Amino acid sequence: MRALTWRGQHDVRVEDHPDPQIQEPTDAIIRVTSSAICGSDLHLYDFLGPFIDDGSILGHEPMGIVEEVGSEVSHIKRGDRVVIPFNISCGHCFMCRNGLFAQCETTQQTENGTGAALFGYTRLYGSVPGGQAEYLRVPQAHFGPIPVPEGPPDDRFLFLSDVLPTAWQAVAYAEIPQGGTVAVLGLGPIGQMSARIARHHGARVIAVDMVPERLEMARRHGIEVIDRNEVDDLGDAIRDMTQGRGPDSVIDAVGMEAEGSPGAHLAQRMTRFLPDAAAAPLMERAGIDRLAALKDAFDIVRRGGTVSIIGVYVGSQDPLPMMQLFDKGVQLRMGQAHVKRWIDDLMPLLTDDSDPLGTEDLTTHRLSLDEAPRGYEMFQKKQDGAIKVVLQA
């Protein structure tokens, strides 16, 4: 089969790989029809190379058609249309029984001190081959795959793999009071959907970004927006819009690559010049993130409010303004999305012909698998208005 392969920083190639095979009775094989490029994939493309093996297959947002199932897989069968969650969970361990599927104890990477295995995402999360490929082996397929109906295009359901449950969790963790206000920092795919979901729940949403195409997409869905380029003090600007106190909740959908953190940016880039054996432990033990968006969140949120962190952070030495957090009484919630936890909430909205979350207005570029390297470059450089890139069979 053909699959997108990591070969180095800013170097991904579509290459031939052996077709995946059933290895365990709980496996399934799917023929991939669509697989999206995630912002987290760009972390591998850019600076997390020390944690990924040369030749690894990327991608963790796939859907497709079931080709084969193991003997212990009964809820799906050959020919079914399914979406594959990005985290690999068993459905029956202590963590799964408590809805914490991203911490599944069956696939948890205890030797690395990390949570459940992920598709296409580094040695830290199991080095499981990903879904930017023609075919995908799905471990724990007795639980993970999400059957979806025929009819609507892939874009209606594809984002159940990551974007939609991640955004739903971001809003749930934000604990926005009824009729309250939430600020969403960052209007990439997760921020876009977080803003739409919060608005769907009846909240007032103020979203912040600096990319014109992202701001315009949010406006199309009735979101109030602030162009970060046009305000000197974001906190003051949002407080002026919220009776001087700030929003009830803030969702940080930016994460570790925030603009405006030059020192941390330089530190991240310096690891490029080290061999992997030195760079990996340095990043694990002394890594720092670009915290501009997170610090904005702490400044913006009202006293006694909640900050929901859904943007990815990996630093172990990030300096936090603890006095400010304690004094304001800020509550924090964060973590990888527990995908299967939110599917029952989301599915009625996706099978509604009116498409209330506008899932078919998120993808900006549809490319073939062979065009994936161009898709990565375009997405990473924010070229041609790229907000969400989907690879299609």
HSE toward the beta carbon, residue 332, CA cutoff 13 A? 15
pTM of the model: 0.92
Q: Which CATH superfamily is domain 164-334 in?
A: NAD(P)-binding Rossmann-like Domain (3.40.50.720)
HSE toward the beta carbon, residue 142, CA cutoff 13 A? 11
d(CA 84, CA 95): 19
CB 310 within 8 A of CB 169: yes
Per-residue pLDDT tens digits for 69-117: 999 999 999 999 999 999 999 999 999 999 999 999 999 999 989 999 9
d(CA 271, CA 261): 16
Per-residue pLDDT tens digits for 349-363: 999 999 999 999 999
Report the CATH number of the 2-162+338-392 domain.
3.90.180.10
Domain assignments of the chain as residue spans, ordered by start: 2-162+338-392, 164-334
Mean pLDDT of 377-383: 93
Which is higher by pLDDT, 49 or 236?
Answer: 236
Per-residue pLDDT tens digits for 38-55: 999 998 988 777 789 999
CB 138 within 8 A of CB 84: yes
